[in-house]
Amino acid sequence: MQSPEDALRAAEPRPHVGGSRSDKKNYAERLSRHLSTVFANALRPHFDGVLPHADGTSQESRARTAKGFKKLDVNYSTPELGLGLGVSIKTLNFVDGSSARYTKNFSRIDNELRAEATDYHVRQPYSVLVAVLFLPRDSAREVEPRRSGGPSSFGAAVKYFRPRSIRRFPTDDPELFEGFFIGLYDPLALEAAPTRFFDVREPPPRARPPRSDESYSFAETVARIVATYDERNQPPFEWAAD
């Protein structure tokens, strides 16, 4: 399993928008597990021993926090480092029936992420944590119906979660993540429209999907995660020009 599209195919069948809550919950859990494997496989050349394994086993492996052990979607830990790198994966796959938007559960997800970041960083302040939120691509096209010119759900997500992603130094607020990306996928065009990723620290389009020059491929996103880890653990050294 090598790409987000592999994970989306493996998670099928995808329920209809009007499907049952249990079907949607089961789909979200399947998708999160497969996405965790995809990210771990992409990171494995750089982080030997990252979990889950290539075959998808050892999902939600445990890492030590300030409050005992907690489960982590993608976990790179060593005896020397403790938790070196963690990736937390969240998905919002269906619009809310009453609002026809994807914004209903932003607060719940943010509360979960804050708790994760705090518990890990308080005990292991040098660990690098990255959050990835997956949204359907159509979340970038609809707009807030009560406000003319209001942002799409994707635009609202960037604004909502940006404050969760500004942790540059080990002494910064433990509630924050070192990186935060939103992955936009098209469940109806997995081959024609591969998932694109957006860094929430960058300015988003208000009511359209980001263009290719405004977003990142999966490989580019993985490279940015690796670079963030290296900046914390192996910061580059530069010489002045002769």
**79-131 pLDDT, tens digit each:** 888 899 999 999 999 999 888 899 999 999 999 999 999 999 999 999 999 99
The pLDDT confidence band at residue 60, using thresholds 50, 70 and 90, is confident
Whole-angstrom Cα distance, residue 202 to residue 198? Answer: 8
More confident residue, 177 or 81: 177
Q: Which of 10, 51, 3, 4 is nearest to 27 (CA)?
A: 10
Strands (DSSP E) along 47-120, which ranges? 61-65, 68-72, 74-78, 82-91
The whole-number pLDDT of residue 64 equals 65
**How many angstroms separate the CA atoms of 27 and 57, rounded?**
18
3-state class of 232 per DSSP? Answer: helix
Per the prediction, the chain carries an average pLDDT of 92
- pLDDT (mean) for 214-242: 92
Would you place residue 51 in the very low, low, confident or very high pLDDT band (cuts 50, 70, 90)? very high
pLDDT confidence band for 148 (50 / 70 / 90) = low
Q: Average pLDDT for residues 67-74, to the nearest whole number?
A: 83
Name the pairing type of β-strands 179-185 and 128-136.
Answer: parallel
Q: Give the Cα separation of 234 and 237 in Å (integer).
A: 9
Model confidence at 45: pLDDT above 60: yes
Residue 146 has pLDDT above 60, yes or no: no
Percentage helix, strand, coil, to 5, in the chain? Answer: 35, 20, 45
38 contact partners, CB below 8 Å, separation of at least 6: 1, 2, 3, 4, 6, 7
Domain boundaries, the chain: 4-233
Tokens of 71: 């489960």
pLDDT digits (tens, 9 = 90+) for 16-43: 877 888 999 999 999 999 999 999 999 9
Instruction: Give the pLDDT score at 125.
Output: 95
Q: Which of 104-118, 207-221, 224-238 has the lowest mean pLDDT?
A: 224-238
State residue 144's pLDDT score. Answer: 66
Q: What pLDDT was estimated at residue 180?
A: 98
DSSP E strands in 9-67: the ranges are 61-65
| Band of residue 67 on the pLDDT scale cut at 50, 70, 90 | low
pTM: 0.92
Which range has the worst mean pLDDT, 94-108, 145-159, 214-228? 145-159
* Amino acid letter, residue 172: D
Closest CA to 206 of 143, 161, 148, 160: 143
Mean pLDDT confidence for 177-202: 94
